[in-house]
Structure 1
Amino acid sequence: MKNSIGVWLDHATAKLIEIRSDKALITTIQSPYKKHIRIPGLSINKERSGPDFYYNLEYKLHNRKIHDLSSYYKDLINRLKGFDEIVLFGPTKAKTELYNLLIQNKHFNLKTISIESKDKMSEKQMTTFIKNIFRILLREKLYK
């Protein structure tokens, strides 16, 4: 069997599920991106004012989000380089964003990468799902 891994991810966490001899090895990775952050000087009752403040604030928040997600995806890409079959699944568009980065990377040209949409799952459900997916992929390859 090839080196296979399943990755459940959203923008906050990723769970890498590797099946080794019918046992699951689960690694959790936390994203540095935080959706709700506090900006010093802003509160419910008072706001900073000025003609360019809101534009600069939005620009700063957007850049922080892009930077945090970029470092998160780079970490995931480095961890996935050693695998031949990768299944990305989860509830958000993070799996599609990571997929697009993977297909642009030359290290993943000859690897099998698939995407599945799934809601929030327990670790046991994730493990069962990944085992079933890899059994199906293995069966399809045997009958080709």
Structure 2
Amino acid sequence: MKATKKLGIWMDHSIAYLMEFTSNKFVINTIESKFILNENGQNLIWPENFIRTIDQQLLITYYNKISEIIKDYKLVILFGPNNAKIELFDVLSEDERFVKIKVEFKNTEKMNENQKYDFVKLYKST
């Protein structure tokens, strides 16, 4: 019986840490977003609607990069501290290529590398 390809992704709006479920030590790959908010969430030079459009385009590019990797897996667990995982899930839900991929998400806090590894390892065993 062939093992199911599984992937754990800790993510927020700025970076995603991708960890394939394997019996070996996890290799963590990263995808960085160019989405950046300043302290008050605005850019004073450009009109707000222009900034919002740019931010949306940057997030879509970020989510598309992650999606290209996800398409090769059967089970994906998205976890992290904010709504980025839900926004990515919404993007995946609109694309037929992801219909047969089981995607789950869990709310977690910020984590260091060992905590991410432990989360995926624990999730793998369930």
Give the root-mean-square deviation of aligned CA atoms: 1.5
1:128 to 104, 118, 126: 118
User: Unaligned stretches of 5+ in structure 1?
Assistant: 43-55, 137-144
- Asked if structure 2 preserves the Cα contact closer than 8 Å seen for 1:19 and 1:25, the reply is no
- Partner secondary structure for residue 17 of structure 2: strand
The 1-side partners of 2:77 and 2:19 are apart by 10
Report the TM-score when normalising by structure 1: 0.79
Whether 1:67 and 2:57 are equivalent positions in the alignment is yes
Point out the structure with max Rg over C-alpha.
1
State the number of aligned residues.
Answer: 121
Q: Could you tell me which residue of structure 2 aligns to residue 105 of structure 1?
A: 95
Identity across the alignment (%) = 28
Q: Could you tell me which residue of structure 1 aligns to residue 8 of structure 2?
A: 6
Cα shift readout 1:91-122 (whole Å, capped 9, x = no counterpart): 00000000111122111111111010000011
- Asked if structure 2 preserves the Cα contact closer than 8 Å seen for 1:89 and 1:115, the reply is yes
Cα shift readout 1:15-39 (whole Å, capped 9, x = no counterpart): 0011322310100111011112765
Mapping of 1:1-80 within 5 angstroms? 1-36=3-38, 57-80=47-70
Report the TM-score when normalising by structure 2: 0.89
- Asked if structure 2 preserves the Cα contact closer than 8 Å seen for 1:88 and 1:115, the reply is yes
Shift of 1:79: 1.2
The 2-side partners of 1:22 and 1:107 are apart by 28
The 2-side partners of 1:110 and 1:29 are apart by 24
The 1-side partners of 2:24 and 2:123 are apart by 13
- Asked if structure 2 preserves the Cα contact closer than 8 Å seen for 1:11 and 1:33, the reply is yes
Greater share of residues in helix:
1
User: Unaligned stretches of 5+ in structure 2?
Assistant: none
The 2-side partners of 1:116 and 1:15 are apart by 15
